[in-house]
Structure 1
Amino acid sequence: MEIKIKPKDLIEMLRIVEGGVSTTQKDIISLSILLKKIKNKVFCISINEDIEIVTYKEIKDSIEENVDVILKYDLIYNICRSIKDNSEIKIIKTNNSTEIHTKNSIFEVPLLYSSSFPSFRTEKKILFKTKIISSDLKLLFQYPFVTMSENNQEDFLNGILIDINNNSINAIASDGVKTSFSQILIKECNNRLKIIIPKILIKEFINTYQENEINIINITESYIKIINSKITLTTRLINEIYENNLINIKYEKFTKIILETYDLNKAINLLKTICTNNILVLNSKVNKIMLTVKQKSEKGVVTLKAHLFGQELNLNLNFKHINIISKIIKSDKTEIIVPENKTFLIIKEKNLNCIYVTLPLKI
């Protein structure tokens, strides 16, 4: 049983599945890679933290029997790098060893057996399936994700709740105190579904993000799969759902403030300079920001005053809010929506089908 593949193709596949481990050199060197051949495709698979990262290459090979071998990452990489003319590598699996044949050498290594390559692809019942462009999916994942602590194990299941309903996909992250929300619209929604996906899938999707890619999302009872032309990401779902930890968001009785990007960026820059200045004042007209920053408090809380039709609205924002707002705002005009109870803030970009919510304002 054998696999034939060009070194440059194999290296390209290895680099993609590197996302399955942390970036430390030690972890990469100790990584095992599963090479699996099914008919005319070679699949390169890495498993880490219960996520399956798969990429593949078409190969011109007449052998159509299924083959799979597990090899150390550094061994494959170093052999590929040592080949200067890009001549084919032949990987042959025998009963006791794996032979790697190059133009000038033969490397024989013991067979590696590992239980760390579970199969996520055996479950046939699909509860939900849709197509989403990469930029929308990245926005859906990224903004709830940025508010979650990297180190706090008490975060909302270390993942994000996905609520699919009414032709929309809502992503909600919470640590029980702070909650973020984002939404994208979809053309068809034939099933209402609530699932929790772990952080690892979000991280790997963002790491392997490809502009303008069309992604197929498959959700079954136990896993979620993201498929595009270059890579497949699969991870098991988190079963528990703690709905009591989620803040009930009601879209009514809002005060809306329209802010131009220039004015908002100017306000953000002023807020960031609070570390070196005690008093900053910016005055503007109706429907613009009037920012008043008094002496810095111990918590670094500042006051943003926005006027709407002559009515003054006071909001308490800290530096984390400002940093998140600065990451989200991209379009020419943005709506800042604040409910009357002033417990949370909605940031909505016009001409996009995404709504970003960061809450609460009172910390």
Structure 2
Amino acid sequence: MRFVITKNIIENVISSMQPFLEKKDASSITSHIYLETTNGKLILKATDYEIGLESHIENINDSVDGKATTNGSNLLGIIKRLKNEEIIFEVVANNIIIKQNKSTFKLPMYDANEYPSLTKAENLKNLDISTLNFINSVRKITPAIDNNNPKFELNGALIDIKNSKINFVSTDTRRLAISHLQNINNKESQFIIPKKAIVEIQKLFLDEAIIKYDDTNLVISNDKMTFFTKLINGKYPDYERIIPQNLKYNLTLPKNLLVESIKLVTSLFSNIKITFNSTSIIFESLDEDTESKTQIDMNLNIDKEFYLAVNAKYLLDFLSMTNNENITVGFNESNLPFYLEDEKFYTIVMPIVLEK
């Protein structure tokens, strides 16, 4: 195998493959990136069996067909140090040789024929949805996906395809985030995408792509790359029973003023108390060490005083994902779950219970 390629082209692809490599065991073939030249085209693959990426590069020169594998982290380290000029890659006696001008590097290979194959899109169901809408919907709920929960299904996002809409759902047990889109012609189904895959999808796909799935895999592809992930095998909690059917109060509030006031009185992970009365909203830090307070004067048209006590991060996560100038806050009583809503996106938050 041999090919010549410009540094920035291959560096971008090798960088995008780093999250897909086995990190804990450098002796595993899945710590390697697979490279294959065929018909003047370069194919690269990376996978840790749970998640994988295949990329195609057309613009290579002086190529000889063949295949190789080499440690993906070491390969990126070498490429980063080189100048932004052409690089020569060549296989010589079970090593991959990397050359640029008078610099030469040698990396050991494994048998490329033993590299695991990636899940393909054949025989999978098509998810008929705009990729951009899909990405935007999962982006909004990403902050509420849990990490390292013993209930594995909570470490991912539920895609719940219903008759007339598609719900994108996540929860870390303190909050429930849901964004939704209209379902045009997808059959009813449910599947859970792991958080790691959700994060990588948002980095990789900025344009339209084809999304396919079955009970165990999700595959997203365009003309340059194919991404796959294994789905989480589990039953997602019945999230719909958490959604309040009726709310006594719905307040439309200016997003920017809320963000400004929350950040003024508290740090990101601190707890905050927000009190609503007929003429103002009062923001108070619940930190024991410091006392901070600010107020927005506005006519709320409510007949009694209410408060919400909550981790500031939950509010700021929601507000950072909203598109409109105003958002809706809905609640029934102090110390009960409250409801945050923006167009096609809402979050239900469990409050911190304060003694009255």
Q: TM-score range by the shorter chain?
A: 0.7 to 0.9
**Residue type of the alignment partner of 2:117:** S
Q: How does 1:246-257 map to 2 (within 5 A)?
A: 246-250=239-243, 252-254=245-247, 255-257=249-251
**Residue type of the alignment partner of 2:34:** L
**Residue type of the alignment partner of 1:333:** N
Q: In the aligned structure 2, how far is the partner of 1:274 from the partner of 1:97? A: 51
Q: In the aligned structure 1, how far is the partner of 2:182 from the partner of 2:348? A: 22
Q: How does 1:124-273 map to 2 (within 5 A)?
A: 124-134=122-132, 136-154=133-151, 156-175=153-172, 177-186=173-182, 188-206=184-202, 208=203, 213-228=207-222, 231-244=225-238, 246-250=239-243, 252-254=245-247, 255-269=249-263, 271-272=265-266
Q: In the aligned structure 2, how far is the partner of 1:274 from the partner of 1:181? A: 19
TM-superposed CA distance for 1:148, in Å, is 3.9
SS at match of 1:45: strand
TM-superposed CA distance for 1:62, in Å, is 9.2
8 A Cα contact 2:33 2:70, kept in partner: yes
* Range with bigger deviation, 183-192 or 103-112: 103-112
Matching residue of 1:291:
282
SS at match of 1:238: coil
8 A Cα contact 1:252 1:339, kept in partner: no
Q: 1:321 aligns with which of 314, 331, 345?
A: 314
Unaligned runs of 5+ in 2: none
- The one-character-per-residue Cα deviations of 1:32-51 (angstroms, maximum 9, x if unpaired) are 21113454432222223721
Q: In the aligned structure 2, how far is the partner of 1:183 from the partner of 1:280? A: 25
SS at match of 2:9: helix
Matching residue of 2:33:
33
SS at match of 1:248: helix
**Residue type of the alignment partner of 2:321:** I
- The one-character-per-residue Cα deviations of 1:281-310 (angstroms, maximum 9, x if unpaired) are 89774xxx5226497679x9x9x9997543
Q: CA RMSD in A?
A: 4.5
**Residue type of the alignment partner of 1:334:** I
SS at match of 2:233: coil
Q: In the aligned structure 1, how far is the partner of 2:108 from the partner of 2:72? A: 14
8 A Cα contact 2:278 2:305, kept in partner: no
Number of residues of Structure 1 aligned to a counterpart in Structure 2: 342
TM-score by length of 2: 0.74
8 A Cα contact 2:153 2:234, kept in partner: no
TM-score by length of 1: 0.73
8 A Cα contact 1:274 1:296, kept in partner: no
Unaligned runs of 5+ in 1: none
- The 3 A distance-change label for structure 1 pair 109 and 274 is closer
SS at match of 2:241: coil
Matching residue of 2:348:
358
